[in-house]
Amino acid sequence: MLKEPEVKPCGNCGTTRYPIRARGFCGRCDYARLKLEQADDRIHHGLVRGYKKECQRRLDVIRILEQKRKGPISGIDVEHELIWVARTAGVRKNKLSIFRGLATLINEHFKPEQKSVLYGLLSDIEENVPWAGVDWHRVASGSRED
């Protein structure tokens, strides 16, 4: 019987859903890692600290979202993903309240496996929306802190 090759997880987020791209990182994490490594050479010295914080934040967010997919998934997790998708789709901020408070409804009407599948689908949407890049306002703010 043939043994399937062992799939190595990403060194940052731990995913095995995406192939390893370079230096033990999946493509999503490798991009942010590369930007982090190149910051000293490519970013104005006054902004390097904040820029590195933004790149590290991106790596942290990818890792947290990937870990969350492993479960358990609660109604509030699904609610947060619904709000994220709605906001990204252009729902006005004052209308996002229609998605708040759905956690109880979701918990009452969806079994754990169903919540996991729904969360995974919504998360797939989130991770396939192109990263908008670094938030330069945060970069400037993070560079000014002592």
The residue among 70, 105, 123 that closes a domain is 70
The residue among 20, 50, 70 that closes a domain is 70
pLDDT at residue number 137: 83
44/66 same-domain check: yes
pLDDT at residue number 146: 46
50/101 same-domain check: no
Question: Is 143 part of a structural domain of the chain?
Answer: no
Q: Which residues contact 5 (CB under 8 A, 6 or more apart)?
A: none
47/35 same-domain check: yes
56/85 same-domain check: no
User: For residue 21, what is the enclosing H or E element?
Assistant: strand 20-22
Question: Is 105 part of a structural domain of the chain?
Answer: yes
Question: Is 114 part of a structural domain of the chain?
Answer: yes
Nearest CA among 117, 97, 18 for reference residue 62: 18
Q: What total number of domains does the chain contain? A: 2
49/94 same-domain check: no
60/85 same-domain check: no
> What DSSP string runs through 30-48?
HHHHHHHHHHHHHS-TTTH
Encode the chain (146 residues) as per-residue pLDDT tens digits: 676 667 899 999 999 999 999 899 999 899 999 999 999 999 988 899 999 999 999 999 999 999 999 989 999 999 999 999 999 999 999 998 888 999 999 999 999 999 999 999 999 999 888 877 778 888 887 666 54
| ∠ Cα 91 95 108 (to 5°) | 100
pLDDT at residue number 1: 65
Residue 45 lies in domain: 9-70
22/51 same-domain check: yes
41/89 same-domain check: no
65/75 same-domain check: no
Chain centroid offset of residue 7 CA: 21
The residue among 70, 98, 121 that closes a domain is 70
Core vs surface per residue 50-61: b (16+ CB within 10 A) or e: bbbbbbeebbee
Question: Is 76 part of a structural domain of the chain?
Answer: yes
99/44 same-domain check: no
